[in-house]
Amino acid sequence: MLASQYNSTEAVVRHDWTRDEVEALYAMPFNDLLFKAQVVHRQHFDPNQVQVSTLLSIKTGACPEDCKYCPQSARYDTGLEKERLLEIEKVIERAKEAKQTGSTRFCMGAAWRNPKERDMPYLTQMVAEVKAMGLETCMTLGMLTRDQAVALKQAGLDYYNHNLDTSPEFYGDIITTRTYQDRLDTLQNVREAGMNVCSGGIVGMGETLSDRASLLIQLANLPEQPQSVPINMLVKVDGTPLDKLDDMEPFDFIRTIAVARIMMPKSHVRLSAGREQMNEQMQALCFMAGANSIFYGCKLLTTSNPDTHEDVVLFKKLGINSERTREYSDEAHQLALEEAIEQQNAPQSELFYDATEKGQTESA
């Protein structure tokens, strides 16, 4: 496979992916697939930067849903202790710790089917206080109404996570207490409120390759592709219905990362749950395949995650740096717009691609 086959045109965002196309990507020789994904990745991102988030469970356990993978479901005996909603002071304390360790986004998750109206003032205050620290904010609270989405946006929420989990065809084998359309409706409410969408899924739950392709098609063919796409590898928890499944083949997981990168070229693809079960070499291949976001911290809600120190060591070995957010005031944003207009009006010779080392650094 020649490099020129991939370098000739820039990857575009498409919303018309077909199953045959996606299954053909999965069927590519592994090296060719990773090369294609890496070329696409470099067209839109610095390949040596990874966005770092921290995820905190603000309300744990006793969820009424029946998601077969989840230890927080009240329907399964997993030994998980129910915890009440965290006080705002404790959340802020954890957010400060996250910022000190290099996280740029702080995600707060609650084991709910959906937030109650009585919870909304508390949640909006939490968002506002975390946002005031200079962190990007994200929440995952279950289904949202349009009014709830608007309230969270007005409080300063940047991202809302609501995963599709799997394909529409396999979905009923995993969850019966909410429909696929319920999930799509929440994503629409989030998008219409003006927030960034964080939505992905879980692989390794017994689904077929066709199911994985179908999940990615659902995500890529949304009216607007998610800004963040978490790809989780099933973490088997004793007491859940999926605890006896065979482990997922690592190369199949890496292929899913690569296909997600190709299909959603401008989205952050997050290497999410399951990283503790991956060795350094597998994680490195995932980064090569286009993953450019991770969670820092010892826990992802209730499941374990690599220690922050281990991630720092791995980043150093691979020459990876944490991606920094750009914080613009209204005045700075206006200035940036004015500068962009000036560049458009500049002599044509000044608009040519700068292939020098300096030019490549500035355009990354």
- In the block, residue with structure tokens 């989780």: 232
**Residue 6 neighbours by CB under 8 Å, 6+ apart:** 35, 36, 39, 40
Return the DSSP state at 195. P
Beta strands in 184-290, from DSSP E residues, in sequence order: 196-198, 201-203, 228-233, 268-271
CA–CA dist 62, 302 (Å, integer): 13
CA–CA dist 127, 137 (Å, integer): 7
Residue 70 labelled as part of a binding site: yes
**Residue 5 neighbours by CB under 8 Å, 6+ apart:** none
Please, what's the b/e burial string for 240-264 (b: 16 or more CB within 10 A of its CB; e: otherwise)? bbbbeeeebebeebbbbbbbbbbbb
Residue 275 labelled as part of a binding site: no
Residue 286 labelled as part of a binding site: no
CA–CA dist 147, 189 (Å, integer): 8
Residue 138 labelled as part of a binding site: yes
Rg (CA), the chain: 21
Residue 107 labelled as part of a binding site: yes
CA–CA dist 190, 148 (Å, integer): 9
CA–CA dist 320, 316 (Å, integer): 6
Residues tagged active-site? 63, 67, 70, 107, 138, 198, 270
Strands 136-140 and 105-110: parallel
Which residues carry a binding-site annotation for [2Fe-2S] cluster? 107, 138, 198, 270
- List, as residue ranges, the binding site: 63, 67, 70, 107, 138, 198, 270
